[in-house]
């Protein structure tokens, strides 16, 4: 369990909608959570509930529809839909009230109020678009200043003979700083170890690609790092010149892990890194991630579709259902006091190595239409006990409260 409470990633009201002809598919709909430095955050839910889309939104593969994503306190992703909606609602309200009002003074006040809303929302939209596009530019400027502050005094103090080598290093670092991106500190290990590795690239090229994009040119440095990474993930140097098809599924996933670790990331999003693998290999890859986590103080967002995989590995777990986060708690709390019927259904699916228990184990099937009546009272996220969040309406909240007692 992490011993500090520094929030590394904050996802705030994230929405990612996809156009489907004339309608929209709400792949991720108003999801909020944060991940603290050093922790493993598990994200579970059945196929198609939006786990991968959440991960891909965080690493900025999409321009998100709405909401904010903060990494190390800096807004790296921002959508504008909610601001546009506010403008539209304000316009509708203004036009409705305008037709009913006859007092010119009140009319003028209404108009002014409406204009103020529009101007405020326009400001928010501009800021969101700026952060979405320019957050890296600003981060690069900051890194350039840091590199200068680190190297210029060193060059000043160095003897004539040392100067040129330090200057060379300085120029190298400066070039990298100008290319750096905040989002490269978040690396994703992809769901499918076969499709995510380019078959025409050697393992060396695959693992070092990120470093080269980042501006590293020194071949020796690159080779040394590639070998280091290969050994770290339990492969050997000789593997560097081979191609992905020459490896087994578990080995390919290790290559995927090496490719992300070489970037020295602070956050790894591991998208079902083991679901395509044999059970025996699953444990190996999970142990590898666990070791790396301890060694590098990594923070991990671990995506899986069932709870058994994340149970022992995660500090906290978020449960998603159809684009929504329905429950979020520490692993211990979630297994001790599951509240949402969908969480209960996921728990009922976990087999235990106990024949007596298995004979009696009943799978609970979750049927949202049977379980909830949201026709009048609408659901939202509630913190029922500290750190335990549940998506429900007021009536259900009362019911869950009694259940907890
Ligand atoms: N680029 C896209 N364009 C349109 N729809 C998409 C896109 N990516 C995902 N979707 C849809 O969004 C929904 C969520 O998909 P996502 O891949 O996030 O699910 P998942 O929870 O990762 O599922 P799985 O466990 O099967 O990997 C699905 O209905 C999917 O079809
Ligand atoms: Mg997925």
- Summarised one tens digit per residue, pLDDT across range 314-365 is 999 999 999 999 999 999 999 999 999 999 999 998 888 888 888 888 888 9
* Paired strand residues for 9: 35, 71
Q: Which atom of ligand 1 is nearest to the CA of 53?
A: 18
What pLDDT is attached to residue 95? 93
Name the closest-CA residue to atom 20, ligand 1: 48
Q: 261 Cβ partners below 8 Å, 6+ apart?
A: 187, 229, 232, 233, 268, 292, 296
pLDDT of residue 359: 85
Residues with CB under 6 A from ligand 1: 18, 25, 27, 45, 47-53, 191, 305
Residues in the chain predicted with pLDDT less than 70, given as ranges, are 1-4
Round the average pLDDT of the chain to a whole number and report it.
Answer: 92
Q: How many other C-beta atoms lie within 10 A of the C-beta of residue 281? A: 17
Coil, strand or helix at 102 = coil
- For residue 4, what pLDDT is reported? 58
The crossing angle, in degrees rounded to 10, of helices 203-213 and 219-232 is 120
Q: Which ligand is nearest to the CA of 57?
A: 1
Residue 301: what are its φ and ψ, rounded to 5°?
-105, 115
Q: What percent of the chain has pLDDT over 90?
A: 70
Centroid of ligand 1 to alpha carbon of 48 (angstroms): 5
Which residue's C-alpha comes closest to atom 11 of ligand 1?
A: 27
Ligand 1 closest atom vs CA 28: 14
Question: What pLDDT shows up at residue 102?
Answer: 87
The pLDDT tens digits of the residues spanning 136-187 come to 898 999 999 999 999 999 999 999 889 999 999 999 899 989 988 888 899 9
* Cα-trace Rg, the chain: 25
> Which pLDDT score, from 0 to 100, does residue 244 have?
93
pLDDT score at 91: 96
| Ligand 1 atom 5, closest CA | 18
Mutating to test ligand 1, I would choose from 48, 59, 275, 310 the residue with most ligand atoms within 8 A of its C-beta, which is: 48
Which pLDDT belongs to residue 273? 84
Long-range contact set of residues 366-370: C-beta below 8 Å, sequence gap at least 24: 366/321, 366/341, 366/342, 368/321, 368/322, 368/342
Instruction: Find the farthest-apart pair of alpha carbons in the chain and give their distance in angstroms, rounded.
Output: 85
- Give the helix, strand, coil percentages of the chain, each rounded to 5: 50, 20, 30
Dist. CA 84 → ligand 2 center (Å)? 30
Beta bridge partners of 24: 19
In this prediction, residue 289 carries a pLDDT of 87
| CA 274/CA 42 separation, integer angstroms | 14
- Measured from the Cα of 49, ligand 1's closest atom is 21
Ramachandran area for residue 30 (φ above 0: left; ψ -120 to 50: alpha; else beta): left
pLDDT value for 234 = 87
């Amino acid at each position: 369990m992490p011993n500090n409470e520094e929030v590394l990633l904050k996802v705030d009201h994230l929405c990612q909608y996809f156009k489907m002809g004339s309608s929209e598919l709400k792949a991720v709909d108003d999801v909020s959570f944060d991940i603290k430095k050093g922790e493993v955050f598990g994200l579970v839910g059945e196929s198609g509930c939006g786990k991968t889309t959440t991960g891909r939104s965080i690493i900025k593969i999409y321009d998100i529809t709405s909401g904010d994503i903060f990494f190390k306190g800096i807004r790296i992703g921002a959508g504008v839909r909610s601001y546009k909606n506010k403008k539209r609602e304000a316009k509708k309200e203004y036009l409705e009230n305008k037709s009913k009002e006859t007092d010119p003074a009140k009319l003028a006040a209404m108009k002014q109020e409406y204009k103020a809303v529009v101007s405020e929302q326009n400001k928010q939209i501009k800021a969101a678009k700026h952060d979405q596009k320019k957050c890296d530019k600003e981060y690069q400027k900051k890194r350039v200043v840091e590199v200068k502050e680190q190297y210029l005094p060193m060059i000043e103090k160095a003897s004539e003979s040392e100067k040129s080598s330090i200057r060379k290093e300085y120029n190298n670092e400066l070039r990298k700083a100008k290319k750096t991106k905040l989002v490269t500190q978040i690396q994703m290990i992809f769901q499918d170890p076969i499709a995510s590795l380019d078959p025409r690239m050697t393992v060396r090229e695959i693992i070092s690609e990120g470093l080269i994009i980042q501006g590293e040119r020194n071949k020796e440095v690159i080779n040394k790092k590639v070998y280091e990474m290969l050994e770290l993930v339990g492969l050997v140097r000789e593997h560097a010149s081979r191609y992905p098809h020459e490896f087994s599924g578990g080995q390919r996933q290790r290559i995927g892990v090496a490719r992300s670790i070489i970037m020295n990331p602070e956050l790894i999003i591991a998208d079902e890194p083991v679901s395509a693998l044999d059970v025996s290999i699953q444990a190996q890859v999970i142990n590898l991630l666990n070791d790396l986590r301890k060694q590098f103080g990594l923070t991990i967002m671990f995506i899986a579709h069932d709870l058994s995989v994340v149970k022992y590995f995660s500090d906290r777990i978020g449960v998603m259902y159809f684009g929504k986060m329905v429950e979020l708690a520490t692993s211990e709390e979630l297994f001790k006091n599951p509240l949402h019927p969908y969480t209960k259904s996921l728990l009922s699916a976990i087999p235990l190595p106990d024949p007596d228990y298995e004979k009696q184990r009943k799978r609970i099937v979750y049927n949202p239409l049977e379980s909830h009546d949201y026709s009048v009272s609408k659901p939202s996220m509630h913190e029922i006990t500290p750190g335990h969040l549940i998506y429900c309406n007021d009536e259900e909240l009362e019911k869950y409260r009694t259940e907890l007692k």
